[in-house]
Structure 1
Amino acid sequence: METTTHTVPPQSDNHSHTIILLHGRDSIASEFACEFFESQAGDGQTLPQVFPTFKWVFPASRMRNSARFESDLSQWFDIWSVEEPSEKKGIQIDGLRESIEEILDVIRGEALLVPQSRIILGGISQGCATAIHTLLYAGIRLGGFVGFCSWLPFQEDIAAITASSISHDTTIRKIRSIFSGSDYEPASLTELKQKSQGPAIETPVFLSHSLDDNVVPIQNGRELKRTISDLGFKTIWKEYEDGGHWINESQGVDDVIAFLKDRL
């Protein structure tokens, strides 16, 4: 199983933005990239064609043991039930903590090449779930966030934190404590915070989900949207009649393009 980052350079000589996208569970980075780039907009163009100055980075998850299936899977963290993500949620913590630190390292590397305001983070399914927690854990503003057919791990815990009406910094610390249990801060995050141009809630968010998704119930996506909106994120939410556990074509691709163009 491939466990290396898959990178696609800009199609032009100018590198203006970097978009970091995380694959789903039991997938690999290069496979996700290939399928993602096959998705077409209404005019037949693919995303690299629409954004020739973008660098595309597809990190790869580790192989981790699945407690439920008793075998190793390519996954960002273990989970007992995608339909009921709060079930046996304790098994998610170690993988999420490790994956968050790994993605922070990826962001740090790209921040040496372009400003953080030109880095877009996101993913699909479990990759999106990991990416949104990376954004929350970091507490820093990025250029944007795009997520497809996903959910929010520890949604109930975060909703309870949000309901206490505390400051943004305290909210981030409490969310971070779900995984660290302390004030521990990875070196990569320390560097990113020094260059930060604002808090995480200033990161514009795009989320989409299809009604016929037979892997992650759309209600889980709606709860993700509601909770991060309650946290203060300006969020665009799109629902589609079809598209399954993937990106709706072609309207869904057009909507992503419109969102990203607004960030340019």
Structure 2
Amino acid sequence: MAFPPPKIQDPQTEHTHTAILLHGRGSDGPEFAEDFLSSITSQQMSLTESLPNWRWVFPSSRTRHSTVFQEEMCTWFDASSLDDIQKDQELQTEGLRESVHHILNILEAEIKLLEGRSDRVSLGGISQGMAISLWVLLCAPGRITAPLGGILGFCGWLPFAHQVECLVRRPGIDSIHRKRLVSEFFLDTIADSTSRPERDAYDLSVLNTPAFLSHGLDDPHVSIYLGRQAARVLQEIDIRVEVQEFTGADADGHWIKEPEGFDHILRFIERHCER
């Protein structure tokens, strides 16, 4: 089954930047766009009003079977448990493979629209969408040859984080070696017949992309400890990570705290992406 076309919110003025943002399990691009773009900062402005030259792209996952809910639903990959993220990990790889390649294609297209300025394109998502955006970043070497503007992650986690933590803590390896080992691990995990560059050929510059990760301490769906683990893995490969933790967000804590969280997003964008 094909992926649906993304929901796109065009810029209000000349297009200079793009954000690609991915929904969580059971949602879709239009629903996430409506909730995200209607939220406001402490200045009583939405992000589209604060960033009028930005194009907002909200892809939708395709429908697939959910092991947890025993039904077809809009989800980037199957996952049998968030209490034990190492359980039945083989269920995740097909969806990860399909979704990562799909989002990489969208990412490349948006960079092309901005005449190759990858630093003017940011990527992120909430919950499962954050998981996919981190996987896209770590699978991007060989296809994206310069840093993105930023990674924006909300209330999410990193599939296979435990294996990566074991990998990067091997003694006697430097930062570049850690980056390469991690990227190779992610590429190998979703490898198929599609050709990719030789291991020593691809550029790791995209892994210099800064990240902002936000998570509710009271999130009942994705534990704060999983969010902290994701941040820790990125820091292990020398990605600059800003972390925001909070309580009392809507959706019982599984959402971005309003307006403080949107203030943080805007400040991060102004520091790292508005070039």
Taking structure 2 as the reference length, the TM-score comes to 0.87
Aligned-pair CA distance for 1:182: 7.8
Map Cα deviations across residues 23-72 of structure 1 (whole Å, 9 max, x no partner): 00000110100000121100100000000000000011000111233211
User: Which residue in the other structure is 1:35 paired with?
Assistant: 35
State yes or no: 1:146 paired with 2:134. Answer: no
Aligned-pair CA distance for 1:185: 2.6
User: Which residue in the other structure is 1:11 paired with?
Assistant: 12
Aligned-pair CA distance for 1:179: 1.5
2:233 to 222, 227, 230: 227
Map Cα deviations across residues 204-229 of structure 1 (whole Å, 9 max, x no partner): 10000011211111111011111111
Aligned-pair CA distance for 1:161: 1.9
| Structure 1 contact 23–124 (Cα < 8 Å) conserved | yes
Structure 2 CA distance, aligned partners of 1:154 and 1:170? 14
2:137 to 135, 142, 157: 135
Aligned pairs (5 A) from 1:49-68: 49-68=49-68
User: Which residue in the other structure is 1:175 paired with?
Assistant: 186
2:180 maps to amino acid: D
| Structure 2 contact 130–154 (Cα < 8 Å) conserved | yes
Structure 1 CA distance, aligned partners of 2:182 and 2:29? 32
| Structure 1 contact 42–250 (Cα < 8 Å) conserved | yes
User: Which residue in the other structure is 1:190 paired with?
Assistant: none
Aligned-pair CA distance for 1:83: 2.6
User: Which residue in the other structure is 1:72 paired with?
Assistant: 72
Question: Would you say how many aligned residue pairs link Structure 1 and Structure 2?
Answer: 253
Structure 2 CA distance, aligned partners of 1:240 and 1:87? 28
Map Cα deviations across residues 187-220 of structure 1 (whole Å, 9 max, x no partner): xxxxxx7xx7x62331010000011211111111
Structure 2 CA distance, aligned partners of 1:200 and 1:247? 26
| Structure 1 contact 151–223 (Cα < 8 Å) conserved | yes
Map Cα deviations across residues 119-141 of structure 1 (whole Å, 9 max, x no partner): 10000000010010000011342
Q: Percent identity?
A: 36
Taking structure 1 as the reference length, the TM-score comes to 0.91
State yes or no: 1:236 paired with 2:236. Answer: no
Range moving further from structure 2, 161-170 or 220-229:
161-170
2:212 to 200, 206, 210: 206
Range moving further from structure 2, 63-72 or 235-244:
63-72
Structure 2 CA distance, aligned partners of 1:231 and 1:205? 12
User: Which residue in the other structure is 1:104 paired with?
Assistant: 104
Structure 2 CA distance, aligned partners of 1:206 and 1:31? 22
Structure 1 CA distance, aligned partners of 2:268 and 2:236? 21
Structure 1 CA distance, aligned partners of 2:42 and 2:78? 37
1:220 maps to amino acid: L
| Structure 2 contact 157–229 (Cα < 8 Å) conserved | yes
Structure 1 CA distance, aligned partners of 2:182 and 2:60? 29
Aligned-pair CA distance for 1:232: 1.2
Q: Structure 1 residues 113 and 216 mapped into 2: Cα distance closer, same or farther (>3 Å)? A: same
Query: Which 4+ stretches in 1 moved above 2 angstroms?
Result: 67-70, 168-171, 181-186
Structure 2 CA distance, aligned partners of 1:209 and 1:120? 19
Structure 2 spans left out of the alignment, 5+ residues: none
User: Which residue in the other structure is 1:189 paired with?
Assistant: none
* CA RMSD, Structure 1 to Structure 2 (Å): 1.8
Q: Structure 1 residues 70 and 241 mapped into 2: Cα distance closer, same or farther (>3 Å)? A: closer
Aligned-pair CA distance for 1:183: 8.1
| Structure 2 contact 100–136 (Cα < 8 Å) conserved | yes
Map Cα deviations across residues 51-103 of structure 1 (whole Å, 9 max, x no partner): 00000000110001112332111000000012322111110000001000000
Structure 1 CA distance, aligned partners of 2:10 and 2:196? 30
Aligned-pair CA distance for 1:184: 3.4
State yes or no: 1:262 paired with 2:265. Answer: no
